[in-house]
Amino acid sequence: MEEPTVCELRFKRESDAIRLKVCRLWSHDDCETLFETDGSFSEICLPFWRALRDLQWRFSAEEFSMRWGRPFPLSGMERLTTKLGRQPC
């Protein structure tokens, strides 16, 4: 039997750019980089914001909790929305 694959998205601000790294986790401190790219805050973060906003509105709070086993991260979404609103496009 094989454990399910766990991937982690790592965002890192580097000057005026954002680096996105997608890693497959093998253990707590061991990972394999699957994908890595750089771009502006809007280029990297805006697509994630759009997908999260769509997910938020697609399901009721109860249905989201049932499907995902946790509530939608409203406060995190609000912080991301605020940060995106302050960034030049």
Q: What's the whole-number mean pLDDT along residues 53-82?
A: 93
Reported as a single tens digit per residue, the pLDDT across 34-50 is: 999 999 988 998 999 99
49 and 29, same structural domain? no
Q: Are 38 and 18 in contact (CB under 8 A)?
A: yes
Same domain, 35 and 45: no
One domain, residues 51 and 89: yes
Mean pLDDT of 76-85: 87
Q: What percent of the chain has pLDDT over 70?
A: 92
Q: Is the pLDDT of residue 28 over 60?
A: yes
Same domain (yes/no): 45, 87: yes
CA dist 64 to 6, 14, 54, Å?
A: 21, 34, 12
Range of the domain at 59: 41-89
Are 28 and 66 in a shared domain?
A: no
For 65, the enclosing helix (H) or strand (E) is helix 61-68
Instruction: Tell me: do 79 and 52 sit in the same domain.
Output: yes
pLDDT score of 84 = 80
